[in-house]
Copies of this chain bind each other. A is one copy, B any other.
């Protein structure tokens, strides 16, 4: 079984999936990623799947679950680099990846995460201001 490296970039984590994952690799990635979010206090996760030609229902569900777990741990997830064929398959499988944001490439995904982080910060400030009144 291969473990997929999780790279820390500032307050975000980057995972580049390059191998066709079997189910065990997918589960261990989920474990590693949630641990890494807590360890590094990450505010966002970028998952690059540009190398994946095939995404089956198990991997699709893993992506959705990972995003849900990250959300509870206060981190946003952006899936980047999805190939058109993968998008077609996912929708045909009935997996619309609810709650998962996507972006064209890593660069745009990073911008999206940064804008979400700024927005969250602004909302938190507003809530604080409201509380003080």
Contact = CB atoms under 8 A, between A and B. Distances in A.
Say which size band chain A's interface belongs to: 20 to 34
Nearest to A105: B8
B16 A19 contact: no
B106 A51 contact: no
Interface of A: 2-5, 7-10, 14, 16, 18-19, 48, 50-51, 81, 105-107, 110
A2 B2 CA distance: 15
Contact of A10 (B8, B48, B107): B107
7 contacts: A5-B18, A5-B51, A9-B9, A9-B107, A10-B107, A16-B18, A18-B18
Contact of A50 (B2, B5, B19, B105): B5
Contacts of A7: 14, 16, 48, 105-106
A40 to B, nearest CB: 10
